[in-house]
């Protein structure tokens, strides 16, 4: 979720705080039961328009009236409406998996495939990516950010080689390191050497000329060795590949291919509040279920907006809350929510009919018929909307 | 027929396994003969069509219960199996249970303490009605031990050979042995293994008696030739009986073990396929024609199965389906119903003292003259058809307490639907307008919510049969109640196509009408006529007649060119719309005003003045726009996309330049002079640069073409007002079609190293990669045409896949969320009583009633307040 600008503003002065107190007081006086977010909205508007006390009181009154009118009705089938509102635009979305969104250098899955990925709560998403922000003092420090980028991003030997020779006569591989490139990438020379020595036992190091020998002397081995040398990872965080540095509104941001939130957050200078990933399971693991819920909302909404479709947050919230209600991220479908329903008939009518009926019979399950589909199946009114209330006529005496 | 109050309510359904005793008790007869009918066509006693199993022919009486055919639901029979067989559905469970129990003492392979722990856990879960699946899985894994903790017996590994063979070590257990082992398991241990001893015993998973479903479940059909054709289930039961008989005979005759085992195996196969003909590892049993039989599991499973096709959804009466066509003269709330249909589908009406005369009139008209009636239902529930000859008699007898099924007439409420029903606006209630001809007529404004057009679309209509349903539909489902979409809190019903261009022509800057023209238009739109003044009217004055008197609104129209600095009231495109006290002061009316998905005025009217006012506004404004367009005249042809020769030359020059630039880029790439973009390979960089150059070329050529288009061009009016089409469409017709894409990039594949054999190998310039240099109007050359078709085909394939994928996603979403419900305190709960949200949407606001997700637009509110206080 985007950071709350409100709290930043608060630093600006006590004026706002006082105004907020006033708003709260007026709301109390008007006996309006507003959600928290309203108080902020009203205070901001009051500041923007420089409202007088009288105007403010009238405003609160008007909003109260509007709020009463806009409230959900009891028994409303919010679930179905949310599902339809999220599902219906699916037909209008593109299928093209890859899109260049924001950062031209990185591929990100978007459109319907991404939405399905979110709803499925896939463990392995097709294009994990991170946006890494920095703490205030490093935000405009390009040098620092570049250093971090090289620390995070994956570099292989390929990237720092000046000269590469396979010597078939002497059966060895001669590599000359490019010191300039090492410097440019802000890598540590000794560290690289240590890594090389760790990975290859039979290596001879002479300044920045390295010569490798294969374990057994044959051409096949030699060639395999050459590939292995070229692909040796000399720096980077696990699971993260390419990184891209970009200047976004006066601050430097790193975008990555691949994701490893846990490790990155522990690094120095990282803004732990705004740094994020699009891998929901990783967020759940590192930051917990509430964060995962917010991530689902954010990702789903971003996917919709990118396609030019507007879907009210409340619908997406409900989907996210349903997915995370049990304390772990569950998928929507037979392996998640639908497969764990209480009612046998509801499960049987969704998917895997036979399995659920057979299992219910040996377990001696009882269907209490509290859901929608069960009541439709047995032909009774459903416990939703107008079916959730009864009407009693007052008898005249 | 009428909902007469709910007498009984099913409170719960208990599931359990049937014991052999239960099956025998339920059975009315043992089935022994594998035949159905004898030569004379009579059902054989103790055969599969035994008359005690129930009757289908009306007129005959059931031998078991005495009720008539059609009323008797049938009775089960049974087959005593010569040897036990394993039920396929439970084979897996049996395997897991055997693996977790001792082969000699039958106890679970867990220590007493473990058993106690798991028992308490399971009992706890059962009490809370939570899923046992995960804990039982854990137990199965835990109880795989080599040695029994109770009797110290060494355990052998038990494997399952799909579908039903259970192998211990190298020895295949016979179903009898399996059954014996299952019998040994004490009830307390069975509970831990997932078999609830209250309703099932493990050994019941091995069948000794097979229930035979009644004939009503497997009716035979008589073909035209007089031949009888039996149901698939009957065929399968015949097989079972035949083998069962042979097995029994062989056993009695003391046949060699081998033969008995073979027959036993065969019996197992038939019983297996009788339950599930798609079980893995079993060749499906086939009909003589080679078609796989549809046995029990297949009857229940999947989209065409009992659950989804007959229980969750049902075929209904009082429905109609026909082609739809547009009618701009009816209200959005109405639907035009062909007289033919109105005479077929009926509305039941109770006869009372107050309506008896009216209903008699209908009966007098009979079934063939429109406002007539088809049936009369007497108080004793007898239904009497009204014929031309009998109508007089029926009319005489009519008295309060009768029910008349009268024809559909104007003003009745019906449900109207178009598939796919993706959201709730796909089913709305309309008022009937009986019209001539044979199509359903609908107002054009309701096309967007149904996603309907008139290229042959068909829609369904359902007639409500109860007073309750009519009342509910009228207050909740009427079209006007759905102008705002719950998806984003804005209008989804609104003007389209000609409504938009019409309104623009009507209200644009210099649009003036003679007074008699104005009166004609107002009359056509059914608006009240003002006093004559003799002066000409501006379009804006006419449109203002539709607006509520106290409406104040300011917004930017669709035709807004998004200039760097907004001139507001002085906008030269007339795109700054100002409405003061219900008078349109400046700005033209277009898509942003009352179009579907974006109409600001419409949105404001629904939210501030209610749905009735919004319907009136929409009905009147669309009619006015249509009359406006009829007076002004509106047409388009390829002449609208004509540009002078010099423009064509400029475009040609531009495209040549771009193509040269592409050649240069390729040259640079070949000479390795190209600088790669960060994080990209050289090839990717080249591709991206070429795409960029060609994209720009297309845009620039479009800009040149656009500069020759003015607002007097009807195609341009359509594109800019948002009525239909886009400027891109126009420039593609006029200037240049542009790059064709396949899989998100230029076309690369086809032949080896080239896209078509007309090119040299290795060349990937603009033309070779699918850049269409021509315009649609000029015409594409054969190669361009081919590339264009490639791009087009990809689009079609894409759409086909997308509909399937998104349809499944939606089904899953709906299934997962359908039980959610807002409680009076604002919490959202599912049917288990689990709280999903403590406050719906974090603020209890219904998106359908909100202003694009907000309760109110505070700024708008403040402005409105200040305007009011200033007066």
Q: Per-residue pLDDT tens for A187-200? A: 777 777 777 777 77
Is residue B232 helix, strand or coil? helix
Mutation site, A46, A114, A354, interface B, largest B CB count within 10 A: A354
Q: Please name every residue paired with B434 in a beta bridge, in sequence order, or none if there are none.
A: B337
B11 interaction partners in chain A (CB closer than 8 Å): 368-369
| Least confident residue range of A177-191, B183-197, B422-436, B608-622 | A177-191
Q: Which pLDDT tens digit goes with each residue over B421-465?
A: 999 999 999 999 999 999 999 999 999 999 999 999 999 999 999
Is residue A256 helix, strand or coil? strand
Give the helix ranges, DSSP H, for B13-127: 20-26, 91-99, 112-127
Q: What is the pLDDT of residue A319?
A: 94
What burial letters (b/e) apply to B390-422, b meaning 16+ CB within 10 Å?
Answer: ebeebbeebeeebbbbbbbbeebbbbbbbeeeb
Inside any domain, residue B415:
yes
Q: In the A/B pair of chains, how many CB contacts fall below 8 A?
A: 332
Is residue B496 helix, strand or coil? coil
Same domain, yes or no: B310 and B325: no
Same domain, yes or no: B148 and B278: no
How many beta carbons lie within 10 A of that of residue A294, not counting itself? 18
How many beta carbons lie within 10 A of that of residue B499, not counting itself? 29
Same domain, yes or no: B370 and B332: yes
Q: What is the pLDDT of residue B871?
A: 61
Does the pLDDT at position B829 exceed 80? Answer: yes
Same domain, yes or no: B273 and B364: no
The radius of gyration of chain B from alpha carbons, rounded to an integer in Å, stands at 38
* Mean pLDDT for the stretch of residues A182-210: 76
A107 — alpha (psi -120 to 50), left (phi > 0) or beta? Answer: beta
Q: Please name every residue paired with B338 in a beta bridge, in sequence order, or none if there are none.
A: B435
Same domain, yes or no: B338 and B438: yes
Same domain, yes or no: B612 and B673: no
A82 interaction partners in chain B (CB closer than 8 Å): 813, 817, 820
Maximum Cα interatomic distance, chain A, rounded to a whole number of Å:
115
Does the pLDDT at position A1 exceed 50? Answer: no
Q: What is the pLDDT of residue A397?
A: 67
Inside any domain, residue B551:
yes
CB B398 within 8 A of CB B356: yes
Same domain, yes or no: B295 and B358: no
For tokens 């290859």, the residue is: A200
CATH number at residue B531: 1.10.274.100
The radius of gyration of chain A from alpha carbons, rounded to an integer in Å, stands at 30
How many beta carbons lie within 10 A of that of residue B260, not counting itself? 17
How many beta carbons lie within 10 A of that of residue B871, not counting itself? 6
B861 interaction partners in chain A (CB closer than 8 Å): 59, 62-63, 66
Q: Which residue of chain B has the CA closest to A56?
A: B862
Mutation site, B469, B795, B812, B829, interface A, largest A CB count within 10 A: B812
Number of domains in chain B: 6
CB B210 within 8 A of CB B79: yes
Does the pLDDT at position A223 exceed 90? Answer: no
Maximum Cα interatomic distance, chain B, rounded to a whole number of Å:
116
Inside any domain, residue B9:
no
Does the pLDDT at position B274 exceed 90? Answer: yes
Is residue B494 helix, strand or coil? coil
Integer CA distances (angstroms), B609 to B503, B574, B623, in order: 22, 27, 20
Q: What is the pLDDT of residue B448?
A: 93
| Least confident residue range of B195-199, B294-298, B676-680 | B676-680
Q: What is the pLDDT of residue B6?
A: 63
Q: Which pLDDT tens digit goes with each residue over B518-527?
A: 998 998 888 8
A105 and B305 within 8 Å at the Cβ level: the answer is no
Q: Which pLDDT tens digit goes with each residue over B223-272?
A: 888 777 888 899 899 989 999 999 999 988 888 888 888 899 899 999 99
Give DSSP secondary structure letters for A285-343. Answer: HHH-HHHHHHHHHHHHHHHHHHTT----HHHHHHHHHHHHTTSS---SSTTTTGGG-S-
A77 and B821 within 8 Å at the Cβ level: the answer is yes
Does the pLDDT at position B2 exceed 70? Answer: no
Residue B597 DSSP label: T
Confidence of residue B790 (pLDDT cuts 50, 70, 90): very high
* Cα gap B174→B155, rounded to integer Å: 18
ipTM of the complex model = 0.89
A96 interaction partners in chain B (CB closer than 8 Å): 743-744, 798
Of B305, B824, B865, the CB nearest to A353: B305
Q: What is the pLDDT of residue B86?
A: 92
Domain final position from B263, B284, B314: B314
Does the pLDDT at position B275 exceed 80? Answer: yes
Average pLDDT score over chain A: 83
Is residue A219 helix, strand or coil? helix
Same domain, yes or no: B399 and B436: yes
Token pair recorded at residue B337: 């119903």
CB B348 within 8 A of CB B376: no
Mutation site, A296, A358, A376, A393, interface B, largest B CB count within 10 A: A358
Inside any domain, residue B824:
no
The beta-strand segments (E) located in chain A are: 98-99, 108-109, 129-132, 155-156, 161-167, 172-177, 203-206, 209-212, 233-235, 243-248, 251-257, 276-277, 366-367
Token pair recorded at residue A132: 């890494």
Mutation site, B8, B129, B204, B819, interface A, largest A CB count within 10 A: B819
Same domain, yes or no: B165 and B190: yes
In percent, the amount of chain A with pLDDT more than 90 equals: 19
Integer CA distances (angstroms), B224 to A190, B49, B64, B228, B229, in order: 92, 21, 30, 9, 11
Token pair recorded at residue B399: 């008295």
Statement: A155-235 belongs to CATH 3.30.1360: yes
* Cα gap B203→B187, rounded to integer Å: 11
Does the pLDDT at position A11 exceed 70? Answer: no
Domain range for residue B48?
Answer: 21-75
Q: Give the residue among B542, B443, B428 at the shortest CA–CA distance from B485.
A: B428
* Mean pLDDT for the stretch of residues B345-370: 92
Q: Give the residue among A392, A281, A291 at the shortest CA–CA distance from A331.
A: A281
Architecture of the CATH domain A341-387: Orthogonal Bundle (1.10)
* Cα gap B734→B651, rounded to integer Å: 10
Q: Which pLDDT tens digit goes with each residue over A336-357?
A: 888 888 889 999 998 888 899 9
> Which residue ranges make up each domain of chain A?
5-70, 155-235, 341-387
Q: What is the pLDDT of residue B461?
A: 96
Q: What is the pLDDT of residue A61?
A: 83
Strands A172-177 and A209-212: antiparallel
How many beta carbons lie within 10 A of that of residue A225, not counting itself? 20
Interior CA angle at B582 toward B577 and B588, to 5°? 25
Same domain, yes or no: B533 and B588: yes
Of the two residues A20 and A378, the one the predictor is more confident about is A378
Half-sphere exposure of B446 (CA within 13 A, CB side): 32
Same domain, yes or no: B145 and B246: no
Inside any domain, residue B808:
no
A361 and B846 within 8 Å at the Cβ level: the answer is no
Does the pLDDT at position B1 exceed 50? Answer: no
Q: What is the pLDDT of residue B34?
A: 84
Q: Minimal Cα–Cα distance from B391 to chain A, Å? A: 36
Instruction: Calculate the dihedral angle through the C-alpha atoms of A35, A39, A41, A43, rounding to the nearest 10 degrees.
Output: 180
Q: Please name every residue paired with B854 in a beta bridge, in sequence order, or none if there are none.
A: B851
Q: What is the pLDDT of residue B436?
A: 94
Half-sphere exposure of B605 (CA within 13 A, CB side): 27
Q: Which residue of chain B has the CA closest to A340?
A: B131
A380 and B9 within 8 Å at the Cβ level: the answer is yes
Same domain, yes or no: B335 and B478: yes
* Cα gap B631→B523, rounded to integer Å: 14
Q: What is the pLDDT of residue A155?
A: 80
* Mean pLDDT for the stretch of residues B73-86: 90
Does the pLDDT at position B789 exceed 90? Answer: yes
Inside any domain, residue B11:
no
Q: Which pLDDT tens digit goes with each residue over A258-285?
A: 888 988 888 888 888 899 998 999 999 9
* Cα gap B188→B195, rounded to integer Å: 10
Is the bond into B163 cis (omega within 30 degrees of 0)? yes
Q: Give the residue among B191, B124, B134, B182 at the shortest CA–CA distance from B158.
A: B182
Q: Which residue of chain B has the CA closest to A368?
A: B12
Q: Minimal Cα–Cα distance from A333 to chain B, Å? A: 5
Give the helix ranges, DSSP H, for B322-466: 339-342, 356-365, 391-397, 447-450
Same fold, A155-235 and A341-387: no
φ, ψ for residue B481, nearest 5 deg: -75, -10
Domain final position from B158, B179, B206: B206
Does the pLDDT at position A251 exceed 60? Answer: yes
Strands B583-586 and A155-156: unpaired
CATH number at residue B26: 4.10.860.120
* Cα gap B184→B779, rounded to integer Å: 84
Token pair recorded at residue B117: 């722990």
Residue B754 DSSP label: B
Of the two residues B423 and A248, the one the predictor is more confident about is B423
Q: Give the residue among B626, B745, B625 at the shortest CA–CA distance from B683.
A: B745
Q: Minimal Cα–Cα distance from B429 to chain A, Å? A: 16
Element (H, E) at B829: strand B828-829
Q: Minimal Cα–Cα distance from B673 to chain A, Å? A: 19
* Cα gap A148→A267, rounded to integer Å: 9
Of B301, B818, B855, the CB nearest to A66: B855
Confidence of residue B654 (pLDDT cuts 50, 70, 90): very high
φ, ψ for residue B683, nearest 5 deg: -60, -45
Does the pLDDT at position A309 exceed 90? Answer: no
Does the pLDDT at position A250 exceed 80? Answer: yes
How many beta carbons lie within 10 A of that of residue B642, not counting itself? 14
* Cα gap B854→B863, rounded to integer Å: 17
Confidence of residue A101 (pLDDT cuts 50, 70, 90): very low
A337 interaction partners in chain B (CB closer than 8 Å): 816
CB B801 within 8 A of CB B699: no
* Mean pLDDT for the stretch of residues A366-374: 91
Q: What is the pLDDT of residue A96?
A: 60
Half-sphere exposure of A53 (CA within 13 A, CB side): 6
Of the two residues B635 and A157, the one the predictor is more confident about is B635
Does the pLDDT at position B792 exceed 80? Answer: yes
Does the pLDDT at position A212 exceed 50? Answer: yes
* Mean pLDDT for the stretch of residues B595-605: 88
In percent, the amount of chain B with pLDDT more than 90 equals: 39
* Mean pLDDT for the stretch of residues A117-138: 89
Q: Which pLDDT tens digit goes with each residue over B316-345?
A: 999 999 999 999 999 999 999 999 999 999
Element (H, E) at B77: strand B77-86
Confidence of residue A105 (pLDDT cuts 50, 70, 90): low
* Cα gap B500→B492, rounded to integer Å: 15
Q: Which pLDDT tens digit goes with each residue over B129-141?
A: 778 888 888 888 8
Q: Which residue of chain B has the CA closest to A356?
A: B89
Q: Give the residue among A72, A36, A73, A43 at the shortest CA–CA distance from A60.
A: A43
Does the pLDDT at position B769 exceed 80? Answer: yes
Q: Minimal Cα–Cα distance from B185 to chain A, Å? A: 15
Domain final position from B632, B651, B668: B632
Residue B6 DSSP label: -
């Amino acid at each position: 979720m985007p950071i709350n600008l409100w709290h930043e503003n608060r630093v600006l002065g006590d004026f706002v705080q006082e105004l907020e107190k006033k708003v709260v007081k007026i709301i109390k006086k008007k006996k309006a039961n507003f959600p928290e977010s309203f108080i902020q909205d009203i205070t901001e508007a009051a500041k923007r328009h420089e409202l007088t006390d009288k105007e403010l009181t009238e405003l609160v009154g008007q909003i109260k009236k509007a709020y009463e009118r806009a409230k959900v009705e009891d028994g409303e089938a919010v679930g179905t409406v949310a599902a339809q509102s999220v599902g219906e635009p699916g037909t209008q979305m593109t299928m093209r998996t890859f899109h260049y969104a924001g950062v031209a250098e990185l591929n990100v899955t978007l459109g319907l495939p991404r939405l399905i990925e979110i709803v499925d709560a896939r463990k392995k998403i097709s294009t994990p990516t991170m946006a890494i922000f920095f703490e205030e003092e490093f935000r405009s420090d390009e040098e620092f950010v570049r250093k971090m980028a090289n620390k995070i991003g994956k570099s292989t030997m390929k990237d720092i080689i000046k000269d590469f020779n396979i010597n078939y006569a002497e059966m060895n591989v001669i590599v000359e390191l490019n010191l300039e490139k090492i410097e440019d990438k802000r890598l540590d020379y000794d560290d690289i050497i240590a890594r090389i020595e760790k990975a290859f036992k039979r290596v001879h190091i002479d300044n920045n000329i390295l010569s490798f020998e294969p374990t057994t002397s044959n051409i096949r081995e030699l060639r395999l060795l050459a590939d292995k040398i070229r692909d040796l990872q000399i720096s980077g965080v696990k699971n993260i590949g390419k990184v891209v540095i970009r200047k976004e509104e006066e601050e430097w941001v790193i975008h990555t291919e691949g994701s490893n939130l846990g490790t990155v957050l522990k690094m120095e200078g990282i803004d732990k509040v705004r740094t994020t990933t699009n891998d929901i399971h990783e967020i759940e693991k590192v930051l917990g279920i509430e964060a995962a819920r917010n991530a689902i909302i954010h990702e789903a909404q971003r996917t919709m907006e990118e396609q030019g479709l507007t879907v009210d947050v409340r619908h997406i919230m409900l989907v996210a809350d349903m997915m995370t209600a049990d304390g772990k991220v569950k998928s929507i479908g037979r392996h998640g929510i639908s497969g764990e329903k209480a009612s046998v008939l509801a499960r049987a009518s969704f998917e895997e009919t036979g399995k659920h009926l057979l299992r219910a019979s040996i377990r001696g399950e009882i269907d209490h018929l509290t859901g929608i589909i069960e009541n439709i199946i047995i032909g009774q009114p459903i416990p939703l909307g107008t079916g959730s209330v009864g009407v009693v006529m007052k008898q005249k005496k | 027929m009428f909902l007469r109050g709910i007498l009984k309510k099913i409170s719960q359904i208990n599931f359990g396994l049937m014991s052999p005793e239960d099956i025998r008790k339920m059975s009315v007869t043992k089935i022994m003969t594998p035949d159905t009918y004898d030569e004379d066509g009579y059902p054989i006693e103790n055969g599969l069509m035994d008359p005690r199993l129930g009757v289908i022919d009306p007129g005959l009486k059931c031998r078991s219960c005495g009720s008539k055919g059609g009323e008797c639901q049938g009775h089960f029979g049974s087959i005593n199996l010569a040897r036990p067989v394993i039920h396929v559905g439970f084979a897996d469970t049996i395997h897991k249970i055997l693996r977790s129990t001792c082969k000699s003492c039958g106890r679970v392979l867990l220590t007493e303490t473990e058993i106690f722990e798991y028992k308490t856990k399971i009992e706890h879960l059962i009490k809370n009605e939570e899923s046992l699946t995960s804990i039982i899985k854990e137990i199965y894994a835990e109880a795989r031990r080599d040695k029994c903790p109770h009797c110290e017996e060494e355990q052998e590994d038990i494997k399952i050979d799909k579908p039903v063979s259970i192998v211990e070590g190298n020895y295949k257990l016979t179903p009898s042995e399996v059954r014996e082992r299952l019998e040994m398991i004490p009830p307390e241990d069975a509970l831990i293994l997932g078999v609830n001893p209250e309703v099932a015993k493990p050994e019941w998973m091995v069948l000794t008696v097979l229930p035979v479903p009644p004939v009503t479940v497997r009716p035979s059909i008589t073909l035209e030739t007089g031949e009888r054709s039996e149901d698939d289930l009957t065929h399968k039961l015949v097989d079972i009986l035949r083998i069962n008989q042979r097995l029994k005979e062989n056993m009695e005759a003391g046949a060699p073990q081998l033969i008995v085992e073979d027959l036993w195996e065969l019996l197992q196969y038939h019983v297996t396929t009788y339950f599930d003909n798609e079980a893995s590892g079993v060749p499906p049993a086939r009909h003589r024609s080679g078609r796989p039989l549809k046995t029990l599991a297949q009857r229940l499973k999947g989209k065409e199965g009992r659950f989804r096709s007959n229980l969750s959804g049902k075929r209904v009466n009082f429905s109609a389906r026909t082609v739809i066509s547009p009618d701009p003269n009816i209200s959005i709330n109405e639907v035009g119903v062909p007289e033919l249909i109105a005479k077929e589908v009926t509305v039941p009406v109770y006869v009372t003292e107050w309506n008896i005369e009216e209903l008699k009139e209908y009966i007098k008209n009979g079934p063939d003259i429109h406002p007539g009636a088809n049936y009369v239902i007497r108080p004793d529930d007898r239904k009497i058809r009204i014929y031309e000859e009998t109508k007089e008699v029926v009319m005489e007898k009519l008295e309060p307490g009768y029910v008349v099924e009268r024809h559909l007439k104007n003003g009745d409420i019906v449900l109207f639907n178009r598939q796919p029903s993706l959201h709730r606006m796909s089913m709305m209630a309309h008022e009937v307008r009986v019209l001539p001809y044979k199509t359903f007529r609908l107002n054009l404004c309701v096309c967007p919510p149904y996603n309907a057009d008139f290229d042959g679309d068909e829609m369904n209509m359902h007639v409500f049969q109860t007073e309750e349903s009519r009342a509910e539909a009228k207050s909740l489902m009427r079209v006007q109640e759905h102008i705002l979409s719950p998806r984003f809190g804005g209008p989804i019903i609104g003007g389209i196509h000609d409504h938009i261009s019409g309104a623009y022509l009507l209200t644009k800057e210099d649009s003036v009408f003679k007074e008699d023209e104005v009166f004609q238009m107002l009359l056509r739109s059914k608006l009240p006529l003002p006093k004559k003044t003799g002066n000409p009217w501006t379009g804006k004055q006419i449109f203002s007649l539709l607006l509520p008197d106290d409406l104040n609104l300011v917004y930017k129209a669709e035709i807004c060119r998004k200039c760097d600095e907004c001139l507001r009231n002085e906008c030269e495109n007339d795109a700054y719309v100002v409405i003061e006290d219900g008078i349109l002061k400046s700005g033209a009316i277009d898509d942003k005003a009352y179009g579907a998905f974006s109409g600001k005025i419409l949105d404001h009217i629904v939210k501030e003045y209610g749905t009735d006012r919004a319907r009136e506004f929409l009905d009147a404004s669309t009619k006015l726009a249509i009359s406006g367009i009829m007076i002004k005249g509106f047409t388009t042809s390829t002449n609208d996309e004509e540009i002078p020769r010099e423009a064509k030359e400029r475009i040609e020059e531009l495209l040549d330049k771009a193509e040269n630039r592409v050649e240069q880029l390729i040259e640079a790439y070949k000479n390795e002079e190209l600088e790669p973009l960060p994080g990209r390979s050289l090839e990717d960089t080249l591709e991206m640069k070429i795409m960029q150059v060609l994209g720009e070329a297309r845009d620039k050529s479009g800009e040149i073409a656009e500069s020759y288009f003015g607002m007097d061009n009807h195609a341009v009016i359509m594109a800019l007002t948002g009525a239909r089409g886009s400027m891109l469409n126009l420039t593609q017709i006029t200037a240049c079609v542009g790059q064709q894409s396949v899989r998100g990039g230029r076309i690369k594949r086809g032949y080896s190293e080239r896209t078509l054999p007309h090119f040299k190998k290795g060349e990937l310039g603009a033309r070779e990669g699918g850049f269409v240099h021509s315009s649609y109007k000029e015409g594409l050359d054969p190669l361009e045409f081919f590339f264009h078709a490639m791009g087009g085909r990809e689009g079609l394939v894409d759409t086909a896949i997308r509909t399937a994928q998104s349809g499944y996603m939606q089904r899953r979403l709906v299934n997962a969320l359908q039980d959610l419900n807002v409680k009076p305190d604002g919490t959202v709960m599912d049917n288990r009583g689990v709280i999903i949200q403590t406050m719906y949407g974090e603020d209890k606001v219904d998106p359908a009633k909100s202003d694009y997700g907000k309760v109110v637009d505070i700024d708008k509110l403040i402005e409105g307040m200040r305007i009011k206080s200033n007066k």
